[in-house]
Structure 1
């Protein structure tokens, strides 16, 4: 996205569970964010409110921000519905000529009032999830040396995107030719490109993932953002489509320490990690030879000592390098991906 003065709207929904889009924008596009809008926390900073962004202010209304070129919807609630109470502020932005960017399932571009306001001010309505992708997978033979690493995991919303981004950034810091491939709305808002895979028609999910990877196969490393999980009661189809479309060489398994049940389905226990990992390997290898190269652990609910113990336990149990990319950095996983590329080149 070409916006460089962004206001993020989270008003009344500023929790880690719902405002994950805002949190990721604050972390990865810090220099572009002017403020977060939340009347319940105005006067504080985003660091106080969401744990990131430093001194970026939290304000009560858009009227307090004279120079803004875009209003980003900063939440990803269950069901993807745009809060009705936000309509006046969205209209205010459009009337000022400010673009409005949303990753929700409620499309701005299907609302007559928003469309009319945008047309009058020459502002843009950008629905990140909206697409017309209809491309069938062709079992493409990727360029030799294009090493594809895909994050998969235990459940939704536990760090697959962040793990992919941090590995990518680590490779770039070493001056290696890497590209992050976004497959969800937040990743697309961060990188400015990608495929909203959960809004692609089912028959074309694998084809859309394959097309995205083909577009960037001139890079030496592709870090492909994961979605859902292979055992998720609702979202497993998208997970499988990404596995087969991107044809990864390596997988990084992501989980949250202490999580026991599927997000949003409190009566559905999570599938045991070893069983999930076995299922990922079977599914991935149906398309392309693949193996696990590391573990990304979300230790947000653990103390430093507990986190260290959890990382050691995972490494001992699975025989793979493990880390919490927020807490300990991604160096172990970066090294594992570099090692994988050596194996790919030797084939």
Structure 2
């Protein structure tokens, strides 16, 4: 299990930026106590806060046994998922000391035969988070009736779909609800220790793999299912569709980044208006079962606090839904919307919403 690693070195050498290192940023945010160091020779002597705005983990020049780590995690998610050639000596040095190496890239560690042999000799583990052998199609059979499935969808890649579902799950559990986050991408799997790498499942079997993941966990009252790509994405829309039909969500949260106009990594490719995307998502999802949007998650990272507040208000006025930036403000509005949807769908005794709203948010409880 990935969660057994308690002294992790994050490798982001030469790629320590928000565009490429989203895996490292999320691991620093959600497995803070497990991250020992960040490896980046250019920024040695700084901290993770200097590079990513998260944590106070020291940045070191290279891997060495003196770091006393039990694993190296590849901390980047670049387009195409290739392992940088310059990193190979660092990986080999770690393997020679019996240190596990964990990667979420499409370029599998276990396809490098010399590394496989070296790992056997030293007792190290090569773990490719995306590697899978799923070969079953979906059955189309219903899930447990009382299991509420909330799925994050959005305008593009890397806008906060994973963080939205993680924060909603954490908040629901903090309020005493039976909730579980379901990872569908490499970073989510590295955080939670399990899940389905949806973008690396053969297309015929994506729906089935997600259906199986949900069915394994539908004893929970709330399932928060991580989203991937977007329904209009020129490269990744197939994964988005497979997720929609595999998890059959009753509730949807639309995620977008303020000021983003073009598809990430596709210069000159405009993102369709949110209303068009939301209409398409809902129509496609309803081919499998009734669903509705319950909220909007806005990523305001490129805006000031004042601009972000105005953006949130505009989103609520524009979509007629509760909106928030889960990074800045927490996910309380979305959590309350999920609880309300459950009450409406399953005719549960209505909670005292005033009491619910008066409870401390997860962020306040952690302070």
Which category of TM-score, normalised to the shorter sequence, fits these structures?
Answer: over 0.9
Secondary structure at the counterpart of residue 64 of structure 2: helix
Give matches, 1:137-176, under 5 Å.
137-176=138-177
Give matches, 1:126-137, under 5 Å.
126-137=127-138
Taking the aligned partners of 1:155 and 1:35, their CA distance within structure 2 comes to: 30
Taking the aligned partners of 1:346 and 1:206, their CA distance within structure 2 comes to: 29
Name 1:284's counterpart in structure 2: 285
Q: Cα distance, 1:344 vs. partner? A: 2.0
Name 1:15's counterpart in structure 2: 17
Among 40, 47, 50, the alignment partner of 1:48 is: 50
Name 2:238's counterpart in structure 1: 237
Taking the aligned partners of 2:325 and 2:135, their CA distance within structure 1 comes to: 37
Taking the aligned partners of 1:291 and 1:334, their CA distance within structure 2 comes to: 15
Q: Cα distance, 1:259 vs. partner? A: 0.3
Taking the aligned partners of 1:218 and 1:188, their CA distance within structure 2 comes to: 20
Name 1:249's counterpart in structure 2: 250
Q: Cα distance, 1:138 vs. partner? A: 1.0
Taking the aligned partners of 2:136 and 2:189, their CA distance within structure 1 comes to: 20
Give matches, 1:82-121, under 5 Å.
82-121=83-122
Taking the aligned partners of 1:65 and 1:260, their CA distance within structure 2 comes to: 46
Among 38, 41, 49, the alignment partner of 1:39 is: 41
Secondary structure at the counterpart of residue 309 of structure 1: helix
Taking the aligned partners of 1:66 and 1:260, their CA distance within structure 2 comes to: 42
TM-score, normalised to structure 2's length?
Answer: 0.93
Q: Cα distance, 1:75 vs. partner? A: 0.3
Taking the aligned partners of 2:103 and 2:120, their CA distance within structure 1 comes to: 17
Name 1:272's counterpart in structure 2: 273
Q: Cα distance, 1:134 vs. partner? A: 1.0
Q: Cα distance, 1:135 vs. partner? A: 1.4
User: Deviations 1:162-217 (Å, cap 9, x if unpaired)?
Assistant: 00000000001101100000000000000000000000000001011100000000
User: Deviations 1:110-137 (Å, cap 9, x if unpaired)?
Assistant: 0012111101101000000000001111
Taking the aligned partners of 1:246 and 1:178, their CA distance within structure 2 comes to: 15
Secondary structure at the counterpart of residue 235 of structure 2: coil
Whether contact under 8 Å (2:47, 2:57) holds in the other structure is: yes
Taking the aligned partners of 2:75 and 2:66, their CA distance within structure 1 comes to: 17
Mapped pair 1:302 → 2:306 = no
Name 2:359's counterpart in structure 1: none
Taking the aligned partners of 1:249 and 1:159, their CA distance within structure 2 comes to: 20
Secondary structure at the counterpart of residue 327 of structure 2: coil
Name 2:331's counterpart in structure 1: 330
Taking the aligned partners of 1:135 and 1:335, their CA distance within structure 2 comes to: 36
Q: Cα distance, 1:8 vs. partner? A: 0.4
Taking the aligned partners of 2:176 and 2:136, their CA distance within structure 1 comes to: 33
Structure 1 segments (4+ residues) deviating >4 Å: none
User: Deviations 1:283-333 (Å, cap 9, x if unpaired)?
Assistant: 010001000000000000001111000000010111100000001110000
Name 1:5's counterpart in structure 2: 7
Q: Which runs of 5+ in 1 are unaligned?
A: none
Mapped pair 1:181 → 2:187 = no
Name 1:79's counterpart in structure 2: 80
Taking the aligned partners of 1:346 and 1:205, their CA distance within structure 2 comes to: 32
How many pairs are equivalent?
346
Name 1:214's counterpart in structure 2: 215
Taking the aligned partners of 2:89 and 2:192, their CA distance within structure 1 comes to: 29
Taking the aligned partners of 1:175 and 1:137, their CA distance within structure 2 comes to: 32
Name 2:124's counterpart in structure 1: 123
Q: Cα distance, 1:64 vs. partner? A: 6.5
Taking the aligned partners of 1:201 and 1:280, their CA distance within structure 2 comes to: 22
Name 1:346's counterpart in structure 2: 347
TM-score, normalised to structure 1's length?
Answer: 0.99
